[in-house]
Amino acid sequence: MRVTARSVTARWIGLAAAGVVAAGIIAGTASAASDPPWKIGVSNTLQGNGWREQMICAVKAQSKVSGKVGSVSVESQTTNAAGQIAQIRRLISQGVNAIIINPADPKALDGVIKQAAQKGIVVVTVDQAVTAPEAYQAYNDQVAYGRLGAEWLFKQLGGKGNVVEMRGIAGASADTDRHKGFQQALKKYPNIKVVKSVFTNWTPSTASQQALQLLQSGTKIDGIWTSGIDSGVVNAFKTAGKKPVPVVGANNEGFVSQLLTNKGLKGVAVTNPATIGGVGTALALDALSGKKVAKVTKLTPQAISNTTASGRTTLKSLNNPKLQAYDPVQLSIKPYTTYTADQLYSCAGP
């Protein structure tokens, strides 16, 4: 990921801290692994995505700043659950002490996660939930993510109108949960009609093309909800020569900048920090050290809109033009991550 160093402001840190809620059952004290330095593995199934790149950089940065990790091995290819199982097995064969996984499927990895745990490997899943009881989990409340953005959009439209739902990857637990939250909000607004629902695969080029085709189709569209693939959708309005409608996106740099500078654009950025990778790393290191670790650590998202003075103030504090369009602007999650902005930007592991 190409990013340029910029210090984290106090407001960033405050926002991150305000958005963290630990939930779930506290596990018993784990048996300490062999003495550090430890080997950390990472399994990622989506390339070409700035969010996932920053997630991996957060794993590397937290590993390095901890002083307890000797190496970080990354398996990162665009693949499905079967491909991810192969990734995890390769990491197991390398003798890693812990594996940080962004799961492609909530259930399909249960067997290989159990295999890793039986070998004494600490497994932490991040971003999306799984059903494997052996895994520690750290993720954003994705149901709330979907609901918060949808509620803002439906209220913005006065409770009636045609909307488009631009989802993520079919079968991914984060997509399923966000859709559930979207549907929860929709039930309260009977005069909102979903005229189109598409899967973007969380790929910027795909989302941009889909948005352009929708805008050029002649279908009346009053608002668009996106699953974090946002700035390309906003750009599609300009390409189509159309006035922007209210858009729901994530706290990505490109969208944050658009919310501050694009005349006539009304939108909301729902937080979903990629630095959850750093949280997963911190939890893994605690477990390896024999500390008590919560089985589930859940982050509570926030909805930041450019339609209010307070929202614009927050967006201005987060905006960082030196980041790329799909790089999330929330760089730290206290108290879990302890790296500096420069260490995150460098994306250098031990």
We report the CATH number of the domain holding residue 295 as 3.40.50.2300
| 25: enclosing H helix or E strand | strand 20-26
Give per-residue pLDDT as tens, 55-104: 999 999 999 999 999 999 999 999 999 999 999 999 999 999 999 999 99
Give per-residue pLDDT as tens, 274-290: 999 999 999 999 999 99
Given pLDDT bands bounded at 50, 70 and 90, which one contains residue 24?
very low
- 4 DSSP assignment: -
Whether 11 shows a pLDDT value over 80: the answer reads: no
In Å, how far are 36, 178, 251 from 267, measured between CA atoms?
46, 18, 11
CA distance 288 to 97: 8
In this structure, the strands spanning 192-199 and 247-250 are unpaired
Give per-residue pLDDT as tens, 194-237: 999 999 999 999 999 999 999 999 999 999 999 999 999 999 99
CA distance 185 to 303: 14
CA distance 253 to 230: 10
CA distance 216 to 202: 21
Is 283 within a domain? yes
Q: How many CB atoms lie within 10 A of CB 117?
A: 16
| 318: enclosing H helix or E strand | helix 309-318
Q: How many domains does the chain have?
A: 2
Task: Please choose, from the candidates 51, 178, 55, 173, the residue with its C-alpha nearest in 3D space to the C-alpha of residue 105.
Answer: 173
Q: Provide the edge-to-edge strand list for the sheet that holds 223-226.
A: 192-199, 161-167, 223-226, 247-250, 267-270, 303-305
CA distance 57 to 63: 10
Give per-residue pLDDT as tens, 43-59: 999 998 999 999 999 99
Whether 16 shows a pLDDT value over 90: the answer reads: no
Domain that holds residue 245: 142-270
Q: What is the pLDDT of residue 339?
A: 97
> 273: which strand partners?
none
Q: Is 34 exposed, middle or buried (0-12, 13-18, 19+ CB in 10 A)?
A: exposed
Return the CA Rg of the chain.
Answer: 20
Is 169 within a domain? yes
Is 313 within a domain? no
CA distance 28 to 163: 47
CA distance 250 to 245: 16
Q: 3-class SS at 6?
A: coil
Q: Does residue 184 share a domain with residue 72? A: no
CA distance 25 to 157: 40
Q: Does residue 284 share a domain with residue 335? A: yes
Q: Does residue 243 share a domain with residue 190? A: yes
Give per-residue pLDDT as tens, 295-332: 999 999 999 999 999 999 999 999 998 889 999 999 99
Whether 15 shows a pLDDT value over 90: the answer reads: no
Q: 3-class SS at 26?
A: strand
Helix (DSSP H) and strand (DSSP E) numbers for the chain: 12, 13
Whether 23 shows a pLDDT value over 70: the answer reads: no
Give per-residue pLDDT as tens, 149-192: 999 999 999 999 999 999 999 999 999 999 999 999 999 999 99
CA distance 36 to 205: 42
Give per-residue pLDDT as tens, 101-147: 999 999 999 999 999 999 999 999 999 999 999 999 999 999 999 99
Q: Does residue 212 share a domain with residue 146? A: yes
Q: What is the pLDDT of residue 33?
A: 59
Q: What is the pLDDT of residue 322?
A: 83
| 239: enclosing H helix or E strand | helix 231-240
Q: Does residue 64 share a domain with residue 123? A: yes
Q: 3-class SS at 202?
A: coil
Q: Does residue 167 share a domain with residue 107? A: no
CA distance 230 to 249: 5
Is 316 within a domain? no
Q: Does residue 124 share a domain with residue 94? A: yes
Q: Does residue 197 share a domain with residue 116? A: no
**Comparison of pLDDT for 262 and 32, the residue scoring more:** 262
Q: Does residue 131 share a domain with residue 278? A: yes
DSSP string covering 125-169: EESS----TT-EEEEE-HHHHHHHHHHHHHHHTTT-EEEEEEE--
Q: Does residue 47 share a domain with residue 149? A: no
Looking at residue 66, its amino acid is: S
Question: Across the chain, what does the average pLDDT equal?
Answer: 91
CA distance 256 to 326: 10
Q: Does residue 283 share a domain with residue 262? A: no
5 alpha carbon, distance to own chain's centre: 21
87 alpha carbon, distance to own chain's centre: 21
